[in-house]
């Protein structure tokens, strides 16, 4: 290493915002968006199918982010990451099918 003081080394390796903090903020934003859909009754105003699709996609994204970052599955073998992914796909698909039944 060159002649650098310990404070310079600390500045080079310090990150202001950790990835889990960013993920947490995104999860809060997605949760607030789904809260707004329910609170302002946007399903009645804008029609059901597009907003249900939005809610299911939001749920899927949140589930993937939680399994990757908070359950620690981001850097494990693929077969362990696929289990919650398949679960989310099945549940979201069944909800979509049940909602679109006439």
CB-based burial of residue 2 (10 Å sphere; 0-12 exposed, 13-18 middle, 19+ buried)?
Answer: exposed
d(CA 102, CA 100): 6
Amino acid 17: pLDDT: 77
* Position 55 pLDDT exceeds 80: yes
Its pTM stands at 0.75
Tens digits of per-residue pLDDT, 7-38? 444 444 446 778 888 899 999 999 999 998 88
Return the domain boundaries, the chain: 21-99
pLDDT value for 48: 77
CA distances from 57 to 4, 18, 33, 54, 92 (A): 48, 25, 12, 5, 8
Q: Which residue has the tokens 């029609």?
A: 47
């Amino acid at each position: 290493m060159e002649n650098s003081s310990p404070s310079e080394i600390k500045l080079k390796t310090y990150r202001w915002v950790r990835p889990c903090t960013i993920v947490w903020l995104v999860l809060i934003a997605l949760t607030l968006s789904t809260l707004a859909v329910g609170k302002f009754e946007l399903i009645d105003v804008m029609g059901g199918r597009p907003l249900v699709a939005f809610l299911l996609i939001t749920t899927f994204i949140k589930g993937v982010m939680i399994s990757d970052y908070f359950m620690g599955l981001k850097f494990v073998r693929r077969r362990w990451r696929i289990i919650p992914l398949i679960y989310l796909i099945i549940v979201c698909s069944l909800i979509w099918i049940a909602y679109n039944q006439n």
